[in-house]
């Protein structure tokens, strides 16, 4: 990828915040459904539930930390499964 991970992360984070602010009830339902397709080695079921609850309550600091953890795990998974 030619775009730095940090840039992608910041854009996704801002998009998530805007969705939460402007469509709070719909966004929590959407995220809850969407997170079901996320592999458990990127985000456990409990973390998915916590993330959805964080969206419902719009806890911005907690959401930032959860997103960062999620991105790190996904990158780790990508590097582990990448064929050389």
Task: State how far the Cα of 82 lies from the Cα of 67, in Å rounded to an integer.
Answer: 22
Q: Find tokens 């991105």 and name the residue.
A: 71
71 in a domain, yes or no? yes
More confident residue, 59 or 84: 59
Give domain status of residue 37, yes or no.
yes
Confidence of residue 3 (pLDDT cuts 50, 70, 90): low
Domain that holds residue 46: 17-77
Residue 78: both structure tokens together: 């990508």
What pLDDT digit, counting tens, does each position of 22-75 carry? 887 788 788 888 888 888 877 889 988 888 887 777 777 887 888 888 878 877
In a domain, 58, yes or no: yes
Distances (CA, A) of 77 to 12, 14, 42, 59, 62: 19, 24, 7, 27, 23
pLDDT of residue 41: 79
Domains in the chain, number: 1
Of 18, 1, 33, nearest to 63 by C-alpha is 18
């Amino acid at each position: 990828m030619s775009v730095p991970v940090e840039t992608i992360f910041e854009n996704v984070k801002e998009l998530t915040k805007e969705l939460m602010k402007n469509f709070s009830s719909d966004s929590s339902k959407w995220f809850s459904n969407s997170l079901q397709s996320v592999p458990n080695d990127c985000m456990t079921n409990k973390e998915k539930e916590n993330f959805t609850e964080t969206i419902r309550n719009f806890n911005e600091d907690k959401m930032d930390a959860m997103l960062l953890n999620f991105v790190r795990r996904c990158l780790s998974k990508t590097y582990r499964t990448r064929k050389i």
